[in-house]
Amino acid sequence: MVFHRWDYDLENLKCFREAIDIVEQNIASIFDIIDFFVERDLREIPATHAWHDRLIRRLKKFVSLTELWVNKAEWRLITDWDGKLRRKPFLAMINIFEKPHRQLKRIIRILESWKDAIKRERRRILTFVFPWIMDEINKMRVIELECNLGQLSITFVFQDTTWSPHSPFNITVWLKNHRKGTTKTIEPAEAEEILKKRIERLERWLSRECELERATWTMRYVKNIMEG
């Protein structure tokens, strides 16, 4: 299960909405790639040197093709317009499948370290790590993306349903109330509306706060000039 959490602030709420759109647009083809790879390349443990080498190449290609990048805001101290240091959002790219990909790359390194071994030894190591490959790939069939909204949190769960003739994936949205300790499912459209309202509310609040701060700074600046 792949899990990522976005924090409660304006930039991350916007990034979360964008990430949901990106995943919805691309996840069907990625789930198809996962199914075809498991069906055709992981049917059985490779029995020859050529099959072993091919599996390594195919694993590398699989990791490359299933990368799915989205934005996430990280906060850093930078010099603001008035010369003061403030925490500002910096957009960083993250791979939705970062954790299983990292594990698959470790498995690839293990397999490559046995490339020069005899056939019997290579099959022995493959027999040992083969369940790990399947386990990490199966984790990619379910994606959880959570956004913290203060007292509430919204979690989008994308599940592989490529076996179904109706849709290649299923979306379930969970709304958790941390104060009441309750959790319920809601429609994706309802979750989008909640996110939209939170973003609009934060934008209004930040706009008023920024105007007040600039007005206060201007008054102090004029006062210093008049007194100086």
pLDDT tens digits, 32-84: 999 999 998 888 887 788 888 899 999 999 999 999 999 988 777 777 666 77
Please tell me the total number of residues recorded for the chain in this structure.
Answer: 228
Mean pLDDT of 165-185: 89
Going by pLDDT thresholds of 50, 70 and 90, the confidence category of residue 167 is confident
- Whether 82 contacts 94, CB under 8 Å: no
Give percent of the chain with pLDDT exceeding 70: 86
Residue 123 has pLDDT above 90, yes or no: no
Mean pLDDT of 124-135: 90
CA distances from 199 to 16, 34, 82, 111, 211 (A): 11, 35, 26, 47, 18
Please state which of the ranges 136-145, 158-167, 208-217 shows the lowest mean pLDDT: 208-217
Mean pLDDT of 121-139: 89
- pLDDT at residue 46, rounded to an integer: 79
- Whether 39 contacts 58, CB under 8 Å: no
Torsion sign (Cα): 57, 62, 65, 68:
negative
- pLDDT at residue 186, rounded to an integer: 93
Residue 219 has pLDDT above 70, yes or no: no
Tell me the average pLDDT of the chain. Answer: 85
Mean pLDDT of 188-216: 77
Mean pLDDT of 22-31: 94
Residue 208 has pLDDT above 90, yes or no: no
Mean pLDDT of 126-130: 88
* Alpha-carbon span 67 to 154, nearest angstrom: 24
The closest of 139, 173, 156 to 66, measured between CA atoms, is 139
Residue 127 has pLDDT above 90, yes or no: no
Give percent of the chain with pLDDT exceeding 90: 44
Mean pLDDT of 82-93: 75
Going by pLDDT thresholds of 50, 70 and 90, the confidence category of residue 141 is very high
- pLDDT at residue 26, rounded to an integer: 94
* Alpha-carbon span 29 to 207, nearest angstrom: 40
The closest of 93, 91, 45 to 70, measured between CA atoms, is 93
- pLDDT at residue 223, rounded to an integer: 63
Residue 95 has pLDDT above 70, yes or no: yes
Q: Which amino acid is at 66?
A: T
Residue 125 has pLDDT above 90, yes or no: no
